[in-house]
Amino acid sequence: MATVHELRNDIRTAVGRHERIENVGFTKEELEAIAVALGYLSESAARPSKAQMRAGIRWRIGERDDDDPEGGSGGLTKNELLAIAATVVDGDGEN
């Protein structure tokens, strides 16, 4: 099974970003690219906060009932990364 770092890098490359050597969370720009790939944001939309984008990403992958950033946690979990990867890397999602 892939590590969190490997999943993040797979997702980064799938949305047109560069892999990172160090094991770090997504930047605001990377979250925006993921949100666009999942259909949560349009490319011309103003960039919301990181919390808003994470909530929207969780909503698009079915982990939340809405995109309210108040009820969410911090970084994306491994299970959430797997769901994102299934959509943006493998193309198996319907989002």
Instruction: Decide if 93 is inside a domain.
Output: no
pLDDT of residue 73: 72
Long-range contacts of 81-87 (CB under 8 A, 24+ apart): 81/4, 81/7, 81/8, 81/11, 82/7, 84/11, 84/34, 84/38, 84/57, 85/2, 85/7, 85/10, 85/11, 85/14, 87/37, 87/38, 87/61
Residue 92's pLDDT is 56
In this prediction, residue 71 carries a pLDDT of 72
Q: Residue 37 sits in which domain range?
A: 4-88
Q: Is the pTM value of this prediction over 0.85?
A: yes
CB 47 within 8 A of CB 57: no
Residue 62 lies in a domain: yes
Residue 11 inside a domain? The answer is yes
Structural domain total, the chain: 1
Q: Find out whether 35 and 69 touch, Cβ atoms under 8 Å.
A: no
Listed as ranges, residues in the chain with pLDDT below 70 are 72, 92-95
In a domain, 61, yes or no: yes
Structural domain contains residue 95: no
Does residue 94 lie in a domain region?
Answer: no
pLDDT at 95: 42
